[in-house]
Amino acid sequence: METPRIIPILLLKGTGLYKTLKFKEPKYIGDPLNAVKIFNDKEVDELIILDITASLENKKPNYELLYQMAGECFMPLGYGGAVSSIEEIRKLISMGIEKVSINSNAVKLDFIREAADVFGSSTIVVSMDVKKNFWGKYEVYTKSGTSNTKMEASKFAVEINKAGAGELLVNSIDRDGVMQGYDLDLIKSISGEIDIPLIACGGAGELNHFKQAVNAGASAAAAGSMFVFHGKHRAVLISYPEQSEINALFR
């Protein structure tokens, strides 16, 4: 039996790791390189690193740090944050990062098209931050959740799929850090419209939430808080389920 990918997502702010709550209140977690080493030792399925301030501050990706991280990862590694050119993607890939995630620049569909063409679809992930508006419509945000594109999430997902992205990371801003479960309606509304894998993100607090996301149509489930916090006081402790637990969950 094959199990879906369970993916820790680490948020980078400057040279530190942080975890947000609804994209706000970044709490310091620790040293990113150390965390990456621990996740590698725990043999995680995949790891995604997102720089949450690079785009906002018009900075470049922190290549030096990413290079060091990639050297410690013997599993697939994705990176997102201020990726705005073909040359940047090339540089990230050459360091040993196989998936490059595009968020703020994904609204430029031509960029997605070109990137998928040059590097192959499987290298290009679009990460989509979504917030439900007052009328219950899912809208796509960019710039670390600060800029509302007013685009409807499932429609945008279809465009991204057509443009050639190989994977879609759907992050619920409302559920970020809440740990009460994924927004299953959001996952359902998008997964049925696309034929590329969807990674659900935002809301995981227990193992069963992963199964709910997969049942709702996600191909993989990602989480932040659940893998870096422990207990109700949110003490920092890095964890990851054993493969036997994941097997039992999806049996």
Partner 1 sequence: MIAIIDYGCGNLGSIKNMIRKIGGEAVITSNIDEIRQAKKIILPGVGSFDTGMNNLKKSGFIDILNEKAFNEKVPFLGICLGMQLMTKGSEEGSEPGLAWFDAETIKFKFEKSSVNKIPNMGWKHVYQKKESAYLKEMYPEPRFYFVHSYYVKSNKPEDVLTTSTYGTEYVSGFEKGNLCGVQFHPEKSHKFGMKLFTNFLSI
The residues that touch partner 1, with contacts defined as CB under 8 A, are 2-5, 40, 43, 45-46, 70-71, 73-76, 93-98, 119-123, 166-167, 195-198, 219-220
Active site residue 51: no
Which segments of the chain are extended strands (E)?
A: 5-13, 16-21, 24-30, 47-51, 77-80, 99-102, 124-132, 138-142, 147-152, 167-172, 198-201, 220-223, 229-230, 235-236
Report in angstroms how near the CB of residue 235 gets to partner 1 at its nearest: 27
* Pair 50, 127: CB distance under 8 Å: yes
Report in angstroms how near the CB of residue 76 gets to partner 1 at its nearest: 5
In the complex with partner 1, which residue's Cβ is closer, 28 or 74? 74
Please say whether the dihedral angle defined by the alpha carbons of residues 115, 176, 16 and 59, taken in this order, is positive or negative: positive
In the complex with partner 1, which residue's Cβ is closer, 16 or 71? 71
Report in angstroms how near the CB of residue 95 gets to partner 1 at its nearest: 6
What is the C-alpha to C-alpha distance for residues 142 and 148, in angstroms, rounded to an integer? 7
Q: Identify which of 223, 177, 170, 222 has the alpha carbon closest to the alpha carbon of residue 193.
A: 170
In the complex with partner 1, which residue's Cβ is closer, 165 or 204? 165
Report in angstroms how near the CB of residue 134 gets to partner 1 at its nearest: 32
* Pair 210, 216: CB distance under 8 Å: no
Helix (H, G, I), strand (E, B) or coil at 77: strand
In the complex with partner 1, which residue's Cβ is closer, 85 or 219? 219
Report in angstroms how near the CB of residue 138 gets to partner 1 at its nearest: 21
In the complex with partner 1, which residue's Cβ is closer, 88 or 98? 98
Show the tokens assigned to 249. Answer: 């969950």
Show the tokens assigned to 142. Answer: 């960019």
* Pair 61, 92: CB distance under 8 Å: yes
Active-site annotation holder among 41, 51, 110, 129? 129
- Residues identified as active-site: 129
